Amino acid sequence: MADASQTPHLFTPLALREVTLRNRIVISPMCQYSAHDGLANDWHLCHLGSFAKGGAGLVFAEATAVVPEGRITHGDTGIWSDAHADAFRPIARFIRQMGAAPGIQLAHAGRRASMQRPWYGNGPLAETDRARGEVAWPIVGPTAEPFSEGWLPPTALSEAAIGALVEAFAVAARRSLAAGFEVAEIHGAHGYLIHSFLSPISNRRNDGYGGELAGRMRLALEVARGVRTVWPASQPLFFRISSVDGMAGGWSIEDSVVLAKALKELGVDVIDCSSGGHDPRGATNSNTGRGPGFQVPYAAKVRSEAGIATQAVGLILDGPQAEAILAEGAADLIAIGREALNDPYWPLRAAQALGFDPEYALWPEQYAWWLSRRAKALARLPGRS
Band of the pLDDT at 104, cuts 50, 70, 90? Answer: very high
Section 105-112 average pLDDT: 98
Q: Is the pLDDT of residue 161 over 90?
A: yes
Domain ranges of the chain: 4-379
Fold of 4-379: TIM Barrel (3.20.20)
pLDDT tens digits, 227-276: 999 999 999 999 999 999 999 999 999 999 999 999 999 999 999 999 99
Tens of pLDDT along 6-24?
899 999 999 999 999 999 9
For the chain, the average pLDDT equals: 95
Residue positions counted in the chain:
385
Give the pLDDT score at 277. 85
Active site residues: 192
Query: Across-strand partners of 16?
Result: 19
Going from the C-alpha of 247 to that of each of 197, 284, 312, 364, the distances in angstroms are 16, 13, 21, 45
Backbone dihedral region of 99: left (phi > 0), alpha (psi from -120 to 50 degrees) or beta?
A: left
CA max distance for the chain: 74
Taking only the tens place, the pLDDT of each residue in 186-203 is: 999 999 999 999 999 999
0.85 surpassed by pTM = yes
Radius of gyration of the chain (CA): 21
Closest CA to 192 of 219, 172, 170: 219
319-348 pLDDT, tens digit each: 999 999 999 999 999 999 999 999 999 999
What confidence tier does 173 reach under pLDDT thresholds 50, 70, 90? Answer: very high
Residue 327 C-beta-side C-alpha neighbours within 13 Å: 8
Predicted local confidence at residue 4, as pLDDT: 46
